[in-house]
A and B are shown apart, each in its own frame.
Chain A
Amino acid sequence: MTTDDAAALELRGIVKTFPGQRALDGVDFTVARGEIHALLGHNGSGKSTLIKVLSGFHQPDTGHCSVAGSRLRFGDGVAVSRAGVRIIHQDIGLVDELSVLENLRLGVGTYRAGTLGAIRWRDERAAARARLDDLGLGHIDPAAEVAGLSAVERTEVAIARAIDDPDAIRVLVLDEASAALPEEQVQHLFRLVRTLAARGVGVVYVTHRLEEVVDLADRVTVLRDGAVVLQESVSALTREDLARVIAGSEVEAVHTSDRAAGRTTGAPVLELAGVVAGRELAGASLTLREGEVLGVAGLAGSGVHEVVRLLQGRSALRSGAVLVGGAPVPRPGVRSLRRLGVAVLPGERDQKRITGMTLAENITIADLSPYWRGGRFRHRAERADAVALVERYRIRPPDVQRPIELLSGGNAQKAYVARLLRTAPRVLVMEEPTHGVDVGGTAEILRLLVEAARNEGTAVLLCSSDTDDLAATCDRVLVLRDGVVADELTDKEITRERIVELCYAAG
């Protein structure tokens, strides 16, 4: 039963549990026709889980969903699409080498073909033109190659592709659609979103840019720890209000007693001096000292991940300098830094996991020299080392001959941490070390990092979007915004709330 006055989207009492964790705890979420509804929440708040429930990827434990008044079965992606729900992710999935027209056609319907099956390109072009014009995208040429488009044009094409039948679309979910967009282009996206809303489409707008919420959205829902903590009209709210609600009001008092003030006065071991690099860093400076755990926080695009890419030699240093022990490193990269005692652990699993090799081999690969004695590789010594490390870091199952791809994410992650700690680096740079790791594993990994800093004097640079991790372990926390270090928190100032607030603070 479809009625005109029914909400575009209605989710009721959604509960989703994962082993050891309740990701969604009875979430109600309603989007009216023609409404732009912002969905906010920090990392791990349940935002992405909720969208995955809607898309059919996750099957919720309880709850129900209706689109334009019709009940929707969960876990069925095709039914979701047929009901008129479209979801656009940050990684928008366009093929760079194809034209706009070909991208609009990717996986959507069939080409208009003449006799012998030849595509009638003239008709296709006219249809694409009409479709783009209809959405107010007259500036995009259907024949243009997607690779040559600006960031916002690509997003517009992705949305246009999703709106294959404008009359049938009820709900459009934009999942961080603006994250990759430069400030000045965001207005173009807003125009398109408003055009769609004016036609009665319910828009769910997921973002972490709070000023966008205030500008664009009609209503806002904030999730925290899997529950709705705020759901109301945006007009009465300020950016600061939102930041406070997202962070939660409880003051964190974790481990603050453990933060020794003296630790931040050790000798500088790794420094960035006015670094301009890659697409994100625009003159960032920081100093990492011996024996401290220094957190680096910031939203996607703020430069946090560019710091890691720079130290991996994956983004070019355009100006400024990287210094280790006071001496500039002309071409920072994995091997040049390794020689200076700087080890970098990438965030993505695909950059760490050597599939096809065993757990032991994955741990020892960073330095095989201890096993090269008397002209042959001492397999037994390697195995003994691996067994000891597996024991010490509680990697499960404790079978060092097991292929690494058979370990769970958290246990594999501990193995990669062990890989680097084993080489006793002076500086350990970690990107998202607890991403995808369960609660117990997270605590252990963080404990390992803190122990390395306290006991070995290792300087740890923790680049993380998990503010709980930062608050729990760091001696100092730097907050990056727009590619520069915007704030520094020390001692008692380091709370989850404060970090989140500064991450979202205006430029």
Chain B
Amino acid sequence: MGIGLTHYLILSGILFAIGLFAVITRRNAIMVLMGLELILNSANINFIAFSRFGGINLDGQVAAIFVIVLAVTEAAIALAIILNIYQNYKHIRIDEINKLKE
């Protein structure tokens, strides 16, 4: 039995779960950002796996490239936001930033 679609999907699921876990539990904003990257990459794996095994040509690969590009820009914007948060709060502990409540 060779490596099939299922394996990829399981890997992607694990990666998504790890990313989600990081997003939800990490106190540091940078770490949350890193969790987000993992989630995006899990999606990339899905795209590519479906591209390879789902019979949908290269569209999946194109989508993956788009996601990578978007991840870059997202990282840039997110880091800028985190920088601003740091300038306002002098820290980036995300669980202490609960202004949304008000």
On whether the two chains bind one another, the answer is no
Partner-B contacts on A (CB < 8 A): none
